[in-house]
Structure 1
Amino acid sequence: MKRLCYFLPLLLLLFACDESSQLEDKADLEKLYAQIVELSESVPCENADDWRFTSFGESLCGGPKGYIPYASSIDTVSFLMLVELYTNKEISYNAKYEGVQICQFVYYTYPLGVECVEGKAEIIYNNDLWEMCSGSEKGHLISNQYCYESTYTEGYEIEDAVIEGDSLSFTLHSSGCDGNSWEVALIDSEVIAESYPVQRYFKVSLTNTEACFAVISKTYTIDISALKNDSDKTILHIEGLEESLLYE
């Protein structure tokens, strides 16, 4: 009994130290990000041609957290080094504390450029394409190279993929509450390898904004009959699956 009494305070102390360390690391990240934003906004935006943008940070599901504009007139070398430092620190932070965080995957598209709005630089996105690439609750097939390049496949696991008739079925595992708000799409790269059978390359896009720790599994069935327009037989390479599938 005495051993338990001594051991319990030690556990509480270790937990408190870990929580304190996480708060310190988070504060360090927030301080770095504030410096990046300050440099980004240090020059008024008068001509969009004088501006660039770069990705920063790391999403818990993989890929950049977002994009930030910067003027070519600032010290771009120092600015980009600061962004790289922030990104590397966030990668380390996510790896260190991944056990107490939630992967909230939000689909976004690659920026089209920068525009000046009332003296402030803002990133331009193609909102129509954003909607088109985000999928639906039931899932569907999208053939678009832009969507394919913008899709990150971290944050979930895919398995049990089978083709029956003109339908592709697969199961996704990811964090969430119940998975009812997930939006899923099968993204075709539009790249066709001219072999026989022809080969095509795909990614599964999952938009998941559910902030719960539970691991949810959901099965989706997608109509792939549109692929028959190109060949009577097609080999499907889906990122995240070890084996390819034959559709005929």
Structure 2
Amino acid sequence: MKKITLLAITICLTFTACTPEEYLKPKSPAVTQDDQSLKEEESKNLEKMYNEIVALSDSNAACSGDWDFIAIGKKPCGEPEKYIPYSLKINKTDFLAKVNSYNAKQETFNNKWNISSTCEVVPKPVAAACINGKATLLYQADQNIEKQELEKLYDEIIALSINNASCYGDWDFTAIGSKPCGGPEKYIPYFVKVNRTDDFFAKINMYKAKQMEFNRKWNISSTCDVVSEPIAAACIDEKPTLLYRADQKIEEQELQKLYNEIIALSDINKPCTGEWSFTAIGSKSCGGPEKYIPYSLNINTADFFAKINEYTMMQEMFNYKWKLYSTCDVPRRPKSVDCVDGKATFIYN
């Protein structure tokens, strides 16, 4: 038997120039006509199953509602064959079961028939949505372009909101943008004399509409905490600044503290003796003093009036900054101060 084998190898090398490895290597069975027919039949069954999945996905129907996407098929090297969109209105359990069955059968088909293909990775979408009435896969590159367009529009709004980059005059604020769960994205200050009708608020509304569409299209999610609404806007340290109730309360407390110091200095809460006078204090929003207070002539009047002036200026700035309004009636001016029952009392007659 060994002699026969050696003889066969010798003949092979002599007449066909084959190698021993080629001679000894087992040959794959030839694909018969029946095998080819079976392969074509299985391929058609896979194609039919794929078409059923696409029909189930509703991607060829009228596009409405919310959509998602899924990988489908198996490349011979293991990567998904492609991605397809599907409507969230369909029976998702049946749909996903059919996709998994298709993937398994295609993998079996590839292995059985030694199918080969390129191993390039199919780009994975980030979302699926209705675009121009058609279910469409959306990719990161497209999202980045739309995000840049939103940022450009936002920058145009900010440029319109300022007054030639200088901070003076009257300021107000407005909501801008839209969170995925509703409510504004933020608030921004704007110079009151900007061209609000034609440009500024038109762009504010355009930005909100575009951001709402962007959030819906790309399935953007965010926290649903409510953005605090300011109560005013003003120039602070040469910068347009949003002002909040908490800040106003702090300043109110500072004003009240200074007022209490003035009252303590005036001796008004001590037993009334000696000579007294009175002074205006504070500033109403529409002008004029807030009130009149008595003070003893025995106190250090220089320190007292320094604090009176400080308080009046602080209140004037406070009213302007926080856009406070008040009645414009003038407080009645007393004629003098007398001690009545041990208490400093205004005399009007």
- The TM-score bracket by the shorter chain reads 0.3 to 0.5
Higher-Rg member (1/2):
2
TM-score (norm 2): 0.32
